Amino acid sequence: MAVVSMSKQEFSRLELLLQRRWNSRLIIPTLLFAGIPLVFIASIVVFQLARNVPDARTARTNTLLSFNTIRAASAIDEAIQDAERGQRGFLITGSEVYLEPHTKAKERLPGLMVDLQQATIASSDQAPRLLQLQAHITTKMNELAATIAAMRQQGYEAARAIVNTDVGRLSMEAISADLAAIVDSANTRLNARLDSPA
- The string of DSSP letters for 39-71 reads HHHHHHHHHHHHHHHHHHHHHHHHHHHHHHHHH
Q: Are residues 106 and 143 in the same domain?
A: yes
| Angle at 170 (CA atoms; ends 168, 176), nearest 5 degrees | 100
Q: How far apart, in whole angstroms, are the C-alpha atoms of residue 189 and residue 168?
A: 32
Q: Does the residue 5 lie in any domain? A: no
Higher-scoring residue by pLDDT: 145, 195: 145
At residue 188, what is the residue type? Answer: T
Q: Does the residue 140 lie in any domain? A: yes
Q: Are residues 134 and 74 in the same domain?
A: yes
Q: Are residues 19 and 103 in the same domain?
A: no
Q: Are residues 35 and 110 in the same domain?
A: no
Q: Does the residue 2 lie in any domain? A: no
**For the chain, how many structural domains are there in total?**
2
Confidence of residue 78 (pLDDT cuts 50, 70, 90): very high
For the ranges 36-40, 63-67, 194-198, the one whose mean pLDDT is highest: 63-67
Q: What is the largest CA-CA distance in the chain?
A: 137
Mean pLDDT rounded to a whole number for the chain: 85
Q: Model pTM?
A: 0.72
Structural domain range at position 29: 11-52
Nearest residue to 80 (alpha-carbon basis) of 95, 100, 102, 111: 102
Q: Are residues 189 and 157 in the same domain?
A: yes
Higher-scoring residue by pLDDT: 16, 148: 148
pLDDT in tens, 94-152: 999 999 999 999 999 999 999 999 999 888 889 999 999 999 999 999 999 999 999 99
Q: What is the CATH number of the domain that holds 104?
A: 1.20.120.1730
Interval 60-73 mean pLDDT: 88
